[in-house]
Amino acid sequence: MNVIDALAPMNVNLTIAFKQLQFSWDTTGADHYRILENPDGVSGFTVVPGTASIAGTSYTLEIPVHKTDWANAQYIIEACNADDSETGVRTQISLILTRFLF
């Protein structure tokens, strides 16, 4: 493992709650983290507003449930240096809608 790999967010968890996505991860020595979203799996990743400089290891994102593309949405937790540059390491998460038939 090289130094850059050591900064990658580790043990990333995503919990889906009522109108929320709750992200958490283990600290890795990066200065801060940010969350990027690709809402439809095609349009590309952009920084989620309000997440450009997360100092902690968790974030709760309020989502419009009826507008979320559950089958294709993707998120990235990105580790950043103090000068706000990427460390080059990311952890990607995809949402998958689970349907229950009763």
Q: How confident is the model at residue 45 (pLDDT cuts 50, 70, 90)?
A: very high
Domain ranges within the chain, ordered by starting residue:
3-94
With vertex at residue 59, the alpha carbon angle to CA 12 and CA 52, rounded to the nearest 5 degrees, is: 100
CA dist., res. 83 & res. 91, Å (int):
20
* Class of CATH domain 3-94: mainly beta
Q: What is the pLDDT of residues 60-84, one digit of tens each?
A: 999 888 888 888 888 888 888 888 7
Whole-prediction pTM value?
Answer: 0.79
| pLDDT number for residue 10 | 79
| pLDDT number for residue 96 | 58
| pLDDT number for residue 98 | 38
Complete edge-to-edge strand list for the sheet that includes strand 58-62: 10-17, 20-26, 58-62
What CA–CA distances, in Å, run from 89 to 4, 5, 64? 7, 7, 28
Asked whether 57 and 24 are in contact (CB, 8 A), the reply is: yes
